[in-house]
Structure 1
Amino acid sequence: MTPLPAAPPTIPAPDGVPAFGRFAGAAARFDWARLSAPHARSRWWRRFHHKRWHYTALATDELFCGIAIVDVGWTNTAFAYVFERGQREVVAGFSRDGIPGLTAHLADHAGGQSRFSFAGSRVDMSASQLSLRCKGLRIDAAMAAPGAPLLLAVGPVQGGAVHATQKSSGLALTGTVRVGARAYRLDGGVASFDYSNGLLARNTAWRWASAHSLELGFNLQAGYFGAHENALWLDGQLIGLGAATFEFTEGDPAAPWHVFTDDGLLDLHFTPEGARREDKNLLVAASRYVQPIGTFSGWVRAGADGPRRAVTRLAGVTEDHASRW
């Protein structure tokens, strides 16, 4: 196993050239206005192709919560859901589109503060804290510093320019989720986050899988970003993974998934417990999104000759997503 190189401090570098690849650690700033040729784009082009999102997952034996703030340039949105695993259903949630330039602020790096505030709903999110207030739902969560390096992935995008993403390993979690009059404790759970920032194509699609404990976790994607962000966290080590294959029944969120990588380091079967889905058609833009929630079982290993580590009912999500934005 070869350790990933240290993350560059800024994307792109001072000369405007982005360092492509996978890195261990965090970049302090993403600034696509500084890109040099051949990746440079006009300010007007960037206005409509710059896409950013900050997503946080909170998992306990009782709940799984997904919370996101998304800025796609010409508009912004936020969503959250609370999935009660025993009942196998989403018991609370919201989704709200905002006003361009007014209702959302996305940080320019993963360690910054992102927020969304509109019509009585507010979400504040960073790498260490999350606060959500909306009708019938309140979340207060604190995440410990990661025990393993962040993944930084940077690469070109067909039909776009350059994309970058920061993913965390599993983070020790404390806090409370309140749904109406009922309170759920998050203490002893595991959080993770995804901060993504890039110049993407008008049509963008992906399949994604992610799950974490404090000792073991993974992030897998197939689609617009290839294998750039595929990674395994194992006992504090960050390990790059090969291309991922997603076998599933499209249109049936209750059907099982089989996910594996071509380097022989990960082979997992996913059993859904339920799903959150949302389809939007805004005439000039549209999205189709389904995120099954469930558990992964199978095995991973740190190297091709290494022993297999069993994975048993690790809580996480898969996702099938297509956007015209």
Structure 2
Amino acid sequence: MTAQRLIQSNGEPLFGIFDHPISNINVYDFQLLTPFGRPANRWQQWFGFNQFQYFGVISSELILGCAIADTKLVGVAFCYLYRPQTGEMLAYSLKSPFAHACQFAASPDAGNTTFAQGKQRIDMINQSQPKSRYLQVSLPKHGLTIDCHYCEHDSFTPMRICTKAGVNGWVYAQKAAGIPVEGTIECQWGTFDLAGLGACAHHDYSSGYMRRETFWNWGCLSGRTNDGQLIGLNVSCGVNETGFTENCFWLNGQLHKVDTVAFHYQKQDLFQPWRLQSYDGKVDLTFRPLGKHAECLNLWLMASNFHQLFGCFNGYLETVGGEKIAINNMLGFVEDHYAKW
């Protein structure tokens, strides 16, 4: 498959769902327009572009969530660990004014995305040949070291999507889930061998001119079914839905597209059960939270009210061919997120 740059020669992004790699988010070839069709000034062009990457790991013994986000006024990174069997949790957050500590890769499949602040460092490394993703975390102040990676084999198809956002913006997202992950995590609980735990990973690379004020729900699971099949789920509501949706799941690496998904939950009590249902009936899941990680900021021009809950899914997913895949107490995530970029 021939890779393409996202912004075309006419200055417009490609829109749609892609079965080929996007080699470069060449944002400097894009001219942002105001709502009245005039070229945006340099400050608007710079301020409007946001980026984030997320790397997650799920096993019955340990759950990991790690993210780096560049929102221009603030760079944010977090990393947390949760033990489903005991309910113990370790959580660490780092912030950098004007995102000085952040460096983002321009390609979804190659390059380093880094948050480095003193001796505290988080690296998400994307390698194209072979296609691999690495997470390396060194937080010596907290006694946390992570070195893990997974490979996307040629038969695996990520969800690659670019949709319109607001009047003149766009969002590119590239997602994967349900992939075995290897490596180690060292923390105050001890050393964990992820391959030995049978852990699976998921990944999200997103960038673009997102809506100035937005909200979304997101759901993800990653692991093995009772009969040993690899399964990964990525669904959302409120983002990447203008003409196309990112909703899908992977069964043994094969991507199965699904329709729009509704998230039913109690906004005032996020720990009550959630229900996720797709319009085409291919996703019907309940989610019972076990714990959550939250990040809340209100800086006038920029704000975030982020709640990522982890817990157990039950229900089913249905393939394109009509096969129903039973989901029994599989661990995963849901999200309730308000953002003003």
Q: Same fold (TM over 0.5)?
A: yes
1:187-202 correspondence runs (5 A): 187=195, 188-202=198-212
Q: Could you say which residue in structure 1 is the equivalent of 2:19?
A: 24
RMSD over aligned CA atoms reads: 2.1
C-alpha separation in 2, matches of 1:144 and 1:255:
36
Structure-1-length-normalised TM-score = 0.91
Q: Could you say which residue in structure 2 is the equivalent of 1:78?
A: 77
Does residue 1:310 correspond to 2:326, yes or no? yes
Q: 2:219 aligns with which of 209, 212, 223?
A: 209
Q: Could you say which residue in structure 1 is the equivalent of 2:130?
A: none
Does residue 1:249 correspond to 2:248, yes or no? no
Equivalent position SS for 2:181: strand
Q: Could you say which residue in structure 1 is the equivalent of 2:138?
A: 133
Report the AA paired with residue 239 of structure 2.
Y
Does residue 1:145 correspond to 2:145, yes or no? no
Equivalent position SS for 1:33: helix
Q: Among the aligned pairs, what percent are the same residue?
A: 26
Report the AA paired with residue 258 of structure 1.
R
Report the AA paired with residue 317 of structure 1.
F
Report the AA paired with residue 138 of structure 2.
R
Alignment check: 8 A CA contact 2:61 2:84 kept: yes
Alignment check: 8 A CA contact 1:110 1:126 kept: no
C-alpha separation in 2, matches of 1:7 and 1:160:
28
**Structure 1 residue 37, shift from structure 2 partner:** 8.0
Q: 1:223 aligns with which of 216, 220, 238?
A: 238
Alignment check: 8 A CA contact 2:178 2:222 kept: yes
Q: 1:240 aligns with which of 257, 262, 287?
A: 257
Q: Could you say which residue in structure 1 is the equivalent of 2:29?
A: 34
List 4+ stretches of structure 1 deviating above 4 A: 36-42
Q: Using a 3 Å threshold, how does the CA distance of structure 1 residues 60 and 181 change in structure 2: closer, same or farther?
A: closer
Deviation per CA, 1:253-312, whole angstroms, max 9, x where unpaired? 321110011012111111111111121122332211111101211111123x61312112
Q: Which runs of 5+ in 2 are unaligned?
A: 127-132, 225-229
C-alpha separation in 2, matches of 1:87 and 1:186:
18
Report the AA paired with residue 217 of structure 1.
G
Q: Using a 3 Å threshold, how does the CA distance of structure 1 residues 182 and 160 change in structure 2: closer, same or farther?
A: farther
C-alpha separation in 2, matches of 1:143 and 1:200:
29
C-alpha separation in 2, matches of 1:232 and 1:279:
30
C-alpha separation in 2, matches of 1:7 and 1:93:
41
Q: Could you say which residue in structure 1 is the equivalent of 2:123?
A: 124
**Structure 1 residue 36, shift from structure 2 partner:** 5.9
Q: Could you say which residue in structure 2 is the equivalent of 1:262?
A: 279
Higher mean alpha-carbon deviation, 34-43 vs 173-182, is at 34-43
**Structure 1 residue 42, shift from structure 2 partner:** 4.2
Higher mean alpha-carbon deviation, 136-145 vs 260-269, is at 136-145
Q: Using a 3 Å threshold, how does the CA distance of structure 1 residues 173 and 248 change in structure 2: closer, same or farther?
A: same
**Structure 1 residue 113, shift from structure 2 partner:** 1.3
Q: Could you say which residue in structure 1 is the equivalent of 2:227?
A: none
Structure-2-length-normalised TM-score = 0.87
C-alpha separation in 1, matches of 2:61 and 2:284:
26
**Structure 1 residue 177, shift from structure 2 partner:** 1.6
Alignment check: 8 A CA contact 1:148 1:169 kept: no
Equivalent position SS for 1:24: coil
> Paired residues, what number?
318
Alignment check: 8 A CA contact 2:75 2:100 kept: no
Alignment check: 8 A CA contact 2:222 2:232 kept: yes
Report the AA paired with residue 80 of structure 2.
Y
Does residue 1:164 correspond to 2:180, yes or no? no
**Structure 1 residue 171, shift from structure 2 partner:** 2.0
Alignment check: 8 A CA contact 2:176 2:203 kept: yes
Report the AA paired with residue 222 of structure 1.
C
Deviation per CA, 1:5-57, whole angstroms, max 9, x where unpaired? x7861112233232211123431111233236879754321211111001000
C-alpha separation in 1, matches of 2:213 and 2:234:
22
